[in-house]
Structure 1
Amino acid sequence: MDIDLSTLVFEADRYLSSAKIADYCPNGLQVEGRSQVRRIISGVTASQALLDAAVAEGADLVLVHHGYFWKGENPCVVGMKQRRLKTLLSHDMSLLAYHLPLDVHPEVGNNVQLARLLGLQVEGPLEPDNPRSVALLGHLPESMSAAEFARRVATVLGREPLLVDCARPVQRIGWCTGGGQGYIEQAISAGVDLYLTGEASEQTYHSARESGIGFIAAGHHATERYGVQALGDYLAQRFGIEHRFIDCDNPI
């Protein structure tokens, strides 16, 4: 069956409470396509590769975590941006994108989904007094070494993470998917044994090493594959439509 685009977007906005979350880009419908939706293709980033795959799949709507129109970007529709928008518009496909709302959601959010996959029990936000914080704090049911936990991450995500090892047993963990390496100082203050995120900055190594905690950078793309899949599945079940996730691999 088909569902009205406006009905689907309204439900996604409502479910993620996107209007309540300040962000660096517009959340929700970024490019409007045909008025009826039967097939959703989801992916991490609205890259040309994902759009081409969506066209081949006959998608009505592309659902992503990383969409377009970021604060500070060049607004001119030229080059890569022109080609991407032309693909969407010429095939009458909609683009639906959620950034921070898809990181923080308690059911389909990237951070919660990653925790479930890694066997982490969520205690709450890493910064409970900061409403903009997306990082979480939790623990493993039983302690293990940082190297053992890194092997678990590698098995679950299908790629070897960057590990800054530590001598202490690891049980209390802070994490933030994607480019959340800046939260390492808050994680240290919270008393974690290890902090996990997607990327690493040069100073991250020194912060972890000199504080005596472990650190894992497991990949921006790799850690953020799961929220958009869960959201796509939710919308497909809610409206009785089709959904398929396409993983356009990215080593970063």
Structure 2
Amino acid sequence: MANRNDILAKINEWLQPDTFQDYCPNGLQVEGKERVETIVSGVTASQALIDAAIEHNADMILVHHGYFWKGEDQAIRGMKKHRIKKLLSHDINLLAYHLPLDDHPDYGNNRQLADVIGIQNPRPLGGLVWQGELPEPLSVEKFELQMARALHRTPLHVGEGPEKIKTVAWCTGGAQGFINVALDAGVDAYISGEISEPTTHTARECGIHYFAAGHHATERYGVQALGAALAQEFGVSHQFIDCDNPV
């Protein structure tokens, strides 16, 4: 077993959440039991994840997408009430880390995604965007197939870039607006989770391949890496639960 506050202190040491201006509170969002033996991680603190965590007798849930986002209704009612009621009634801690988990050089979603889809020499490009290279140039079709096999989801491809893809920039989640960072860097392709209507025109008219690989699909890996690190550090049990989301 481990102490909840010791776990929080270690994550703060690793992720440095106070250095980020985020859209939600990072860290402990719902307080549960002080002693932690089992951690369940997932992308989003949905009802499905909470129910699965209860089945696994979890003391702590670790997610990328938690609660209390800026601009949302802060009232504890409806869906939010049912989720928080379940957490409190089972004395489960909810920890959420958003931008700090995207950006971390080891446990971050961007760093982990590079390993999953086979990008070499991953490194920050600017802001939250990263860049790297493929081991060898690939056609659009082969690179799309490589991502589909790795993520278990076929990405949406738009744009009219080079015949072969070698250099890549990416940012997980809803980061389609950062395509201009990739364009300024002169890379062959840009990957994020979501796509917006203007993204298609930008990719076509500016000569870059764009892949929308799924918000959920691209952000599965940071919480897994962080949860595994906590398990090793504190000797607790950790399990990642993937609640399917097609977006």
Q: TM-score range by the shorter chain?
A: over 0.9
Cα distance, 1:210 vs structure 2? 0.8
Aligned to 1:130: none
Q: For 1:7 and 1:85, locate their aligned partners in 2 and report how far apart those are by CA, in whole Å.
A: 23
Aligned to 2:164: 169
Aligned to 1:33: 32
Aligned to 1:178: 173
Aligned to 1:83: 82
CA contact (8 A) 2:129 2:181 kept: no
Mean Cα displacement is larger for which, 90-99 or 156-165? 156-165
RMSD: 1.0
CA contact (8 A) 1:146 1:165 kept: no
Cα distance, 1:123 vs structure 2? 5.0
CA contact (8 A) 1:16 1:105 kept: yes
TM-score normalised according to structure 2 size: 0.97
CA contact (8 A) 2:24 2:69 kept: yes
Cα distance, 1:138 vs structure 2? 1.3
Q: CA offsets per residue over residues 120-164 of structure 1, 9 Å max, x none?
A: 12353222xxxxx11101111211112211110000000111012
CA contact (8 A) 1:121 1:141 kept: yes
Q: For 2:32 and 2:122, locate their aligned partners in 1 and report how far apart those are by CA, in whole Å.
A: 40
CA contact (8 A) 1:146 1:194 kept: no
Q: For 1:100 and 1:165, locate their aligned partners in 2 and report how far apart those are by CA, in whole Å.
A: 28
CA contact (8 A) 1:122 1:136 kept: no
Aligned to 2:144: 150
Aligned to 2:242: 247
Q: For 2:217 and 2:209, locate their aligned partners in 1 and report how far apart those are by CA, in whole Å.
A: 19
Q: CA offsets per residue over residues 61-97 of structure 1, 9 Å max, x none?
A: 0000000111111110000010010010000000001
Q: 1:174 to 1:75 in 2, by over 3 A?
A: same
Cα distance, 1:13 vs structure 2? 1.3
Q: Name the amino acid aligned to 1:157.
A: L
TM-score normalised according to structure 1 size: 0.95
Q: CA offsets per residue over residues 141-195 of structure 1, 9 Å max, x none?
A: 2111122111100000001110125343111111001001001011111101000
Q: Name the amino acid aligned to 1:223.
A: T
CA contact (8 A) 2:111 2:122 kept: no
Q: SS at 1:71's partner residue?
A: coil
Q: Name the amino acid aligned to 1:160.
A: T
Q: Name the amino acid aligned to 1:217.
A: A
**Count of aligned pairs between the two proteins:** 246
Q: For 2:201 and 2:121, locate their aligned partners in 1 and report how far apart those are by CA, in whole Å.
A: 27
Aligned to 2:193: 198
Map 1:6-25 to 2 at 5 A. Answer: 6-25=5-24
- Identity, % of aligned positions: 55
Q: For 1:123 and 1:216, locate their aligned partners in 2 and report how far apart those are by CA, in whole Å.
A: 18
Q: For 2:77 and 2:116, locate their aligned partners in 1 and report how far apart those are by CA, in whole Å.
A: 40
